[in-house]
Structure 1
Amino acid sequence: MGTDTRTVTLQDVADRAGVSRATASQALSGKGRMSDETRQRVREVAAELEYSVNLIARGLRTARTGTVGLSVPDLTLSFRYYMDVAFGAVERAKEAGMLVTLLPPAFAQPGITDQLDGFLIIDPVDGDPLTERLLAGPKPVVTGEDPPAGTPEPFAVVYGDHDSAMRRLLDHVWERGSRHPAVMLPDPSMAWGRDMARGYAAWCAERGIPERRVLSWFDAPMEVVRRELDDLLAGPGRPDAIISAPEGVAIVAVEAIRAAGLVPGRDVLVASYVDSDALSVMQPTVTSLDLHPREMGIRCMEALIAALDGEPAGRRVPVPIDLIERESTQGIAQDH
């Protein structure tokens, strides 16, 4: 008995989903007007039949390669946030029959990037030569967070409201009894770090509270971060809450609080600006923000697909940020 090895076609997907070939094509590329239910049914059928777009044939029709570039800040791929953003972008690109290639910093010079259809730049960094060259080039660019000042505007910006999110975390620890919160802020050469700092400064000014901030660079060794936290907690005037970024610093903060003879979540509240799996299982579990990184990647890729389809530029696409309350901000002890 023979085995059917015939290649699955777009018409096969359309027939199984009960739609026209044109509707199936639009559903898989993210275009066209149809119900979410129809679009999802077509995608599920395509996955079930293991349908894949013939990129070479489509490239001949559209003068595209079917491949886009993804750039993230150097030294950040070990952070869960950036991996999730990348997975979201790849997931959406796959639905549209596109490939994604990661662009290392060495690609700052022209070469392979000239062969790509467009680019996603996640957390563009001030002064980065690759970011500056791509934004000044002819191909469409979508940025995850705002680009550096003075650079050409991208086709679209997908962003989180980090000013408001920082205020939300500060309001939360205030409600739990904190009156002297300190922050460990990320690299100020990226838009979200500047937005966090602006939100913190405005919040402190509104309450007449002196700022206590420490910079925490992505490439800072954990022993350096630990020394900074130890100094922050030593002696009189210590903070009664620590809000930390980037990812992972909250774990070190909990260890430093314990080493100082204090109880995390009672003597000093702890909150992380970026959530991770570890924060939900450690003791105490750590309050954090869900920045929805996978959604960031999906929306960035959707905006880039729109650019490649000739839609107008200038859009700004928000990504939600949600507070996850856990044990580390249960409240300052009543005897304080």
Structure 2
Amino acid sequence: MGADVRVVTLQDVADRVGVSRATASQALTGKGRISAATRQRVHAAAAELDYSVNLIARGLRTARSGAVGLCVPDQTLSFRYYMDVAFGAVERAQESGMLVTLLPPAFAGPGIIEQLDGFLMIDPVDGDPLVQRLLAGRKPVVSGENPPAGDREPWATVFGDHEAGMRLLLDHVWEHGSRRPAVMLPDPAMAWGREMAAGYAAWCAEKGIETRRMLGWFDTTMDEVRREMDELFAQSDHPDAVICAPEGIAIVAVEAIRGAGLVPGRDVLVASYVESDALSVTQPTITTLDLHPREMGRRCMDELIRALDGAEPGRRVEVPIDLIVRESTSAR
């Protein structure tokens, strides 16, 4: 029989760095007022010693499972934005020794929700039974983007200002000569879709121009988008700019513009509201917004950790939105 393998403890990590056990614990869980240098040294020592948090023991001490749920809209897991949000949330959770369980609607069966300590819901959809169930429960819920109206308020909300984001793109194409911008927007059942539409309508009213709005949902096929785009650019008074969401639709718009005998980036400016990997390599490269999805995920998890630590509810945390200018809007 081999010799017993000694389990590395938190005290071992603390001794390696020369700090107290409490300081080592706070450094590993992201709590306390600890310098970045000390926090980094503790994490380095934990890695060297192959130390991992004993989630079962922690759960017995705190009456928690050490796991939280992440709820995203159905049919979104193939989109880069939602994967980046999930990665940001998981990274932050790992820093605090927590596990994250994905809760798409099909997997939120009886018994799963009750075992989790709290929840993140990203882009909650109006009328979603799972969203309603989470908000009606006793566990803390953090909403990534504004929650549906009429439901109970979440413990905290992390959001982007999508009216301002839409105006940022519209002002940009206006400055490059557009006077007839059209938009393809997501279904208004989610807050960011409503906010984008409100920003577009208000901007057009201020400029004294007609709104030209199409709807695109996550389950809208690319063939359906292409048919709608083809009809739009076949008109004699076709738009001279188009801003597209959800993710990936801008590439279809480029193809439709070419199909109409027009030049994307010259005859029709093109912008995507959401960044994706293809936008920086397609021809022309496509102007977009950086919605900072990983930061969205991290800040949502930050708020949930604060909730589990007993902080007061009601916080609203804004994630910045930045313009990325590329060839599709800068040729004029």
Which TM-score band applies after superposition, normalised by the shorter structure? over 0.9
% identical aligned pairs? 77
Q: Distance in 1 between matches of 2:241 and 2:24?
A: 53
Report the 3-state secondary structure (helix = DSSP H, G, I; strand = E; otherwise coil) of the residue aligned with 1:150. coil
Measure how far apart 1:30 and its partner are. Answer: 1.9
Amino acid at match of 2:9: T
Is residue 311 from structure 1 mapped to residue 311 from structure 2 by the alignment?
Answer: yes
3-state SS of paired residue (2:65)? coil
Residues 106-146 of structure 1, C-alpha deviations (whole Å, 9 max, x = no match): 35554210111000000000000010011010000001001
Deviation of residue 50 (structure 1)? Answer: 3.2
Counterpart of 1:103 in structure 2 is: 103
Q: Distance in 1 between matches of 2:43 and 2:97?
A: 11
Could you say which residue in structure 1 is the equivalent of 2:79? 79
The CA distance in 2 between the partners of 1:280 and 1:40, in whole Å, is 34
1:272-294 superposed Cα distances (whole Å, 9 cap, x missing partner): 00001111111111110111111
Counterpart in the other structure of 1:70: 70
Q: After superposition, where does 1:16-95 map in structure 2 within 5 Å? A: 16-95=16-95
C-alpha displacement of 1:29? 1.5
Partners of 1:329 and 1:126 in 2: CA distance: 34
Q: Deviations over 1:304-333 (max 9, x none)?
A: 01100001000011111111111111143x
Output one character per residue of 1:249-280: Cα deviation in whole Å (capped at 9) or x when no partner. Answer: 01111111111111111111111000011111
Residue of structure 1 equivalent to 2:290: 290
2:46, 2:284 → 1: CA distance?
44
Counterpart in 1 of 2:301? 301
Alignment of 1:154-233 (within 5 A): 154-233=154-233
Q: Aligned partners of 1:289 and 1:176: how far apart in 2? A: 17
For structure 1, which runs of at least 5 residues remain unmatched after alignment?
A: none
Residue type of the alignment partner of 1:260 = A
- Structure 1 distance, partners of 2:32, 2:184, is 45
Shift of 1:41: 3.4
| Structure 1 stretch displaced more, 39-48 or 244-253 | 39-48
The 1:326–1:39 alpha-carbon spacing in structure 2 relative to 1, beyond 3 Å, is same
Does 2:303 align with 1:328?
no
Is 1:107–1:113's contact at 8 Å kept on the other side of the alignment?
A: no
Task: Quote the residue 1:258 is aligned against.
Answer: 258
Aligned in 2, Cα 1:285/1:6: closer, same or farther, shift over 3 Å?
farther
Closer, same or farther: CA 44–246 of 1 in aligned 2, 3 Å: farther
Aligned match of 1:10 = 10
The 5 Å alignment of 1:137-148 reads: 137-148=137-148
User: In 1, distance between residues paired with 2:164 and 2:232?
Assistant: 25
Alignment CA distance shift 1:3-1:234 (3 Å): farther
In the alignment, the residues of structure 2 paired with residue 47 and residue 299 of structure 1 have an alpha-carbon distance, to the nearest angstrom, of 25
Alpha-carbon contact 1:160-1:318 (below 8 Å) kept: yes
Deviation, 1:87, is: 0.8
AA of the residue aligned to 1:205: A
Aligned length: 331
Distance 1:227 1:311, change over 3 A: same
Amino acid at match of 2:55: L
Aligned equivalents of 1:4 and 1:261: distance in 2? 75
Q: Normalising by structure 1, what TM-score?
A: 0.95
Which residue type is aligned with residue 287 of structure 1?
T
State the distance in 2 between where 1:266 and 1:5 align: 68
What is the TM-score of this pair, normalised by structure 2? Answer: 0.96
Q: Deviations over 1:147-199 (max 9, x none)?
A: 10011111100101111011001111111111111100012100011110111
| Amino acid paired to 2:188 | P
Cα distance in 1, alignment partners of residues 69 and 87 from structure 2 = 13
Root mean square deviation, CA, Å: 1.6
Kindly provide the amino acid, as one letter, of the partner of residue 215 in structure 1.
L
Task: Give the residue type in structure 1 aligned to 2:22.
Answer: A
- Cα displacement (A) at 1:28: 1.7
Rounded to whole Å, the distance in 2 between the matches of 1:179 and 1:153 is 40
The alpha-carbon deviation at position 236 of structure 1 amounts to: 1.2
Alpha-carbon contact 1:185-1:214 (below 8 Å) kept = yes
Measure the CA separation in 1 of the matches of 2:171 and 2:23.
48
Q: Kindly tell me: are residues 212 and 49 of structure 1, through their superposed partners in 2, closer, same or farther at Cα, counting changes over 3 Å?
A: farther
Amino acid at match of 1:106: A
Task: Return the letter of the residue paired with 1:51.
Answer: Y
